[in-house]
Amino acid sequence: MTDAKYHAPEQGSLAGRVFRPASLDELREAIELAFDYRGDVTVELKSGGQVTGYLFNRTATGEQPTIELFPATGSGTMTIPFSEVAAIAFTGEDTATGKSWEAWVAKKDSERQREVDRVEAEAKARGHL
Amino acid sequence: MAVPVSQMYTVTKYVLTQKLRGVKRYPLVLMLEPLFRCNLACAGCGKIQYPDHVLDKRLTPEQCWAAADECGAPIISIPGGEPLIHPEMPEIVRGLVARQKYVYLCTNAILLERKLDEYQASKFLTFSVHMDGLKDEHDLAVCRDGVYDVAVKAIKAALKRGHRVTTNTTLFDDANPERVRKFFDEMMALGVEGMMISPGYSYQKAPDQQHFLKRSRTTELFSKILSNRKRGWQFNQSPLFLEFLMGRREYQCTPWGNPTYNVFGWQRPCYLLQEGYASSFRELMEKTAWDSYGTGRNEKCADCMVHCGYEASAVEDTFGSLSGFAKTVKITLLPNAR
Ligand code: SF4
Ligand code: SF4
């Protein structure tokens, strides 16, 4: 259980946006947004490849600033230097959007019930109920 | 007495030892989050808002034990997600109890009754059941009908088997003081050892005026709830923290008192704010800009009066000054004294 109930007003989600920074400052900014984002991002690498995963940490200081991801497939973490990032796309569903307490209260009873049933069914399917 | 003497002795000895050693920042409670997956989906819950592949990650028992050893705090609180979902949770708890850590296993109690056989009653283990008020308030807070009744039944079953049980309540400023007082009566009548209460955290970028109002609304609410306290109410937390909630004492946040370890690493600076992760406890303690957090220091902290930031401040006050110690003794013996 948690004490952190998200009460902030709903804001536009970054889902679907792509950032192709032209400077280090822009890159830093895009990385901060990705760090706060509650969904997967796809990092396009200067070497040509790309990695999709959850960006959970960034170290912006030091000689070689890095980002850290949990790749969406496979286990373990992946560390990528800032210098290798060509673009960041917000490709995964934003799991925070529309989930504030206010948004819940504002829903119609029927919508709320549907959501409760869906969550319950998912938890049952996983054996968590 | 809400907490066993052995636990009080352990914590007192630990704090005094840190003080004698001249340690300025020491952890009191390790917040160990072995998974974020939950069997509820409370609206606004910041802990479960991750993609599925992250929710499926879990700390191994070895990682949990290593975190406990590295941190050294005498108390370990295990929130989540819902810890009882973790298949290796009984093993994790056994390992922590073997290390003589006082474990508070936080649960929404949906699975508690079914899982009780897997846990051995011990003075080192407490089930901390999340209850956000009487039936109507609680079921609304967790966004599912019937959860209150399930939790009450599980609390009774756990108590019957000799387990330590506490409740853990988060209140927002829309709480009704009279209903909260009634709720305390009900919980104590169930036979729980003590109750833990905290204001919720609602970070919102807002002008300072609003922050100020929010904090004063919090102290007003807790004053109404905690003034003229009933004799039978037992709180499982520092008496000075309750005074702080009532606006009778001022504290600055000591986030290092409740460090958090989860699947991402050591969370900076606290359980609530995610500003990045350190890969070791030492790195967390040495390389976090602690002075940037707390009331008046950081916009994100402006409204916060949450236990994970301020309970350790109250404990520090108890052991750091004669007046704090005298006040603690006085309120312990006479809860309504000023
Ligand atoms: S029970 Fe706790 S962790 Fe689970 S969804 Fe509710 S607030 Fe979040
Ligand atoms: S005041 Fe302390 S506990 Fe609250 S959010 Fe800030 S650092 Fe965290």
pLDDT in tens, B130-176: 999 999 999 999 999 999 999 999 999 999 999 999 999 999 878 99
Centroid of ligand 2 to alpha carbon of B201 (angstroms): 9
Determine the pLDDT at residue B52: 96
**Could you give the residue ranges of the DSSP H alpha helices within chain B?**
5-20, 52-55, 61-71, 89-98, 112-115, 135-141, 147-160, 177-190, 208-226, 239-245, 281-287, 307-320, 322-333
Atom of ligand 2 nearest to the CA of B269: 7
| Of B215, B119, B135, B245, the residue nearest B183 (C-alpha) | B135
- Chain A residues lying within 8 Å of B106, measured CB to CB: 1
> Using an 8 Å Cβ cutoff, are B170 and A5 in contact?
yes
What's phi and psi for B165, nearest 5 deg?
A: -135, 130
Residues 38-77 of B with CB under 8 A from A: 38-47, 49-51, 53-54, 57
Centroid of ligand 2 to alpha carbon of B298 (angstroms): 9
Amino acid letter for position A26 = E
Determine the pLDDT at residue A104: 87
| Of B294, B338, B332, B331, the residue nearest B312 (C-alpha) | B294
For the cut 50, the answer to whether the pLDDT of residue A110 exceeds it is yes
Q: Average per-residue pLDDT in chain B?
A: 92
Closest chain B residue by Cα to residue A55:
B264
* Cβ burial B147-184 (10 Å sphere, 16+ → b, else e): bbebbbebbebbbeeebbbbbbbbbbeebbbeebbebb
B54, B84, B142: best mutation site toward chain A, by most A Cβ within 10 Å? B54
Q: What percent of chain A has pLDDT over 90?
A: 74
Cα dihedral angle (B218, B222, B225, B229), rounded to 10 degrees? Answer: -170
The tens digit of pLDDT for each residue in B17-43 reads: 999 999 999 999 999 999 999 999 998
Determine the pLDDT at residue B206: 40
* Residues in a beta bridge with B166: B128, B194
CB A1 near ligand 1, within 6 Å: yes
Residues B300-315, mean pLDDT to the nearest whole number: 91
| Three-class SS state of A33 | helix
The two tokens of residue B315 are 């404990």
Q: What angle do CA A108, A112, A113 make, to 5 degrees?
A: 115
For the cut 70, the answer to whether the pLDDT of residue B47 exceeds it is yes
Residue with tokens 């307490």, as numbered in its chain:
A101
Centroid of ligand 2 to alpha carbon of B120 (angstroms): 35
pTM of the full structure: 0.94
The tens digit of pLDDT for each residue in B177-224 reads: 999 999 999 999 999 999 999 988 765 544 444 555 588 889 999 999
The tens digit of pLDDT for each residue in B215-250 reads: 888 999 999 999 999 989 999 999 999 999 999 999
Higher pLDDT, B154 or A99: B154
Determine the pLDDT at residue B329: 78
Residue B222 makes CB contacts below 8 A (sequence gap 6+) with B171, B197, B199, B242, B245, B246, B247
The answer to whether the CB atoms of A92 and B49 lie below 8 A apart is no
Q: Write down how long chain B is.
A: 338
Atom of ligand 2 nearest to the CA of B254: 2
For the cut 70, the answer to whether the pLDDT of residue A97 exceeds it is yes
A2, A41, A120: best mutation site toward chain B, by most B Cβ within 10 Å? A2
Mutate to test the pocket of ligand 1, among A1, A38, A101, A126 (most ligand atoms within 8 A of CB): A1
Closest chain A residue by Cα to residue B200:
A3
A107 Cα to chain B: minimum distance (Å): 11
- Chain A residues lying within 8 Å of B200, measured CB to CB: 3-5
For the cut 70, the answer to whether the pLDDT of residue A9 exceeds it is no
- Chain B residues lying within 8 Å of A96, measured CB to CB: 46, 49
Per DSSP, B237 falls in state: S
Q: What percent of chain B has pLDDT over 90?
A: 80
ipTM: 0.92
What's phi and psi for A97, nearest 5 deg?
A: -70, 135
Cα–Cα distance, B101 to B241 (Å, whole number): 22
Determine the pLDDT at residue B334: 75
Q: Does A72 reach chain B within 8 Å, measured CB to CB?
A: yes
Nearest C-alpha to atom 3 of ligand 2 is from which residue?
B309
* pLDDT band of A99, cuts 50, 70, 90: confident
Q: Name the region of B162 (left: φ>0; alpha: ψ -120 to 50; beta: rest).
A: left
Q: Does B87 reach chain A within 8 Å, measured CB to CB?
A: no
For the cut 60, the answer to whether the pLDDT of residue A8 exceeds it is no
A23 Cα to chain B: minimum distance (Å): 23
